[in-house]
A and B are shown apart, each in its own frame.
Chain A
């Protein structure tokens, strides 16, 4: 091709290169292609497992699976173990918190499961989502609210935080596992991999938001927000293990 942008001398040199490449490649290609086709066919013949079927779902379905799990965890907690002060909790704050956390979960899942046939987004997007996912719940926890159930102090505080961490972790774990499983390839760096932790940690926080009646900031930071950092750390380690294995 000799596009307008190509200087004539360079065009000639590139033309020579293309001619050389054409001269040397056909013999190699035939042998290589036969091998390559055999290997590719063998690889595709393994694509009949449940996992590969899930990975082959359209992207909006894959993201939908993660969000359905997240919503199911929140609705389940709301229906089965609602917070004691649900009626008295400011409706606007509750709605705003849930919508914001769910929106970040959706964005994190969409970035994590972004298909390879789309051009790569800005690298900053992954970092922005990571920071937003980690710190938005922390900021929300610091905004004063009405007095809920007492957080206690010392061992009582630790016990309450531990219970919330365990409750949230149980609901976050399936989201973490499914988020990683639905990826079609082990691509993207640690920051994007950590978004699985954001989705999982926020799922735990969504469930805790409708379950736990303690509004004390210390409890919220140690019992709820800490879960996010643990989930992000677990996802980061998982991704790192993948990259080195």
Chain B
């Protein structure tokens, strides 16, 4: 099986099948990444599309010896940042959130669990949330996260440590609140933000 970098080199040389292969490998990860914070489904998919468009436009910038994954993830994160900057506020908008069709068939308590962790993640500062999203959910190494964010590895580790501590505290707080209370509080917060 060809490596990501070999596929990228083939795409730069005009092999369209290489792009299809890269799409197959990375689109699921990118969709997850976008959905985790962007609750408007069409916007999340649009950003994934834009990420691949930017991969295409920047293909001649891809240098031999570089790793494709952090390179592509940096594009995705920059596009996501721009999305939030345009919206001028953070993305939490539970009232507008329509869960993906398949999740609706899951037991209520499982969806409540997902929402609880999402709410806890959303309560973190953006810098910590980004690091946790990349390190834990996408299984990127600390050096890769550092490369994507333009930080030192030590700085990323500090953010991760603080983020995980804050997440634990947030989850503990949520665990002491009933789902109905949590939903009520979230709605109040959304109303306040507007």
Residues of chain A touching chain B, judged by Cβ–Cβ distance below 8 Å, are 1, 3, 5-7, 9-10, 13-14, 16-18, 20-21, 23-25, 27-29, 32-33, 35-37, 39-40, 43-44, 47, 52, 55-59, 115-121, 184-185, 187-189, 243
- Do B61 and A58 have beta carbons less than 8 Å apart? yes
| Residue numbers in B under 8 Å from A121 (CB-CB) | 150
A-B CB pair tally, cutoff 8 Å: 138
Q: A3-B136, A24-B103, A120-B81 are in contact. Are A56 and B117 (CB under 8 A)?
A: no
Cβ contact within 8 Å between B49 and A116: no
**Extra pairs beyond A37-B20, A119-B78, A119-B149 (16, CB < 8 Å):** A3-B136, A7-B168, A20-B113, A20-B114, A24-B106, A25-B32, A25-B100, A28-B101, A29-B28, A39-B49, A43-B52, A43-B53, A116-B75, A120-B78, A121-B150, A185-B57
Contact B57 A3 (CB under 8 A): no
B residues lining the A interface (CB < 8 Å): 19-20, 23, 27-28, 31-32, 45, 48-50, 52-54, 56-62, 71-72, 74-75, 78-79, 81-82, 85-86, 100-103, 106, 110, 113-114, 117, 135-137, 139, 142, 147-151, 157, 160-161, 164-165, 167-168, 171
* Chain B at the A interface: SS class: helix
Are the C-beta atoms of A243 and B86 separated by less than 8 Å? Answer: yes
> Residue on A with the closest CB to B78?
A116
Are A33 and B113 within 8 A (Cβ)? no
A213 CA to B70 CA, complexed, in Å: 53
- Interface of chain A, main secondary structure: helix
Residues of B with C-beta under 8 A to A118 = 74, 150
With contacts A5-B160, A43-B53 taken as known, whether A56 is within 8 angstroms of B60 at the C-beta atoms is: yes
